[in-house]
């Protein structure tokens, strides 16, 4: 889990779960959350990915 900082047209800004730096990642289709809320993410060597619950 991490904090959603802001939402842009095609990207979202989240806090890196380890360093707490702001990171821009691609906004998933059907993404629904409000800035300031906690979202589920997956951090890999290839980057951070937002996970969507169905």
C-alpha of 24 from chain center: 8
> What pTM was estimated for this model as a whole?
0.84
Confidence label for 44 from pLDDT (cuts 50, 70 and 90): very high
pLDDT of residue 18: 94
Residue 34 has pLDDT above 60, yes or no: yes
Residue 54 has pLDDT above 70, yes or no: no
Which residue is listed with tokens 């289709």?
29
């Amino acid at each position: 889990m991490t904090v959603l900082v802001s939402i842009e047209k095609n990207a979202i800004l989240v806090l890196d779960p380890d360093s707490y730096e702001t990171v821009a990642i691609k906004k998933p289709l059907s993404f629904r959350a409000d800035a300031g809320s906690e979202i589920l993410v997956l951090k890999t060597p290839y980057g951070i990915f937002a996970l969507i619950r169905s």
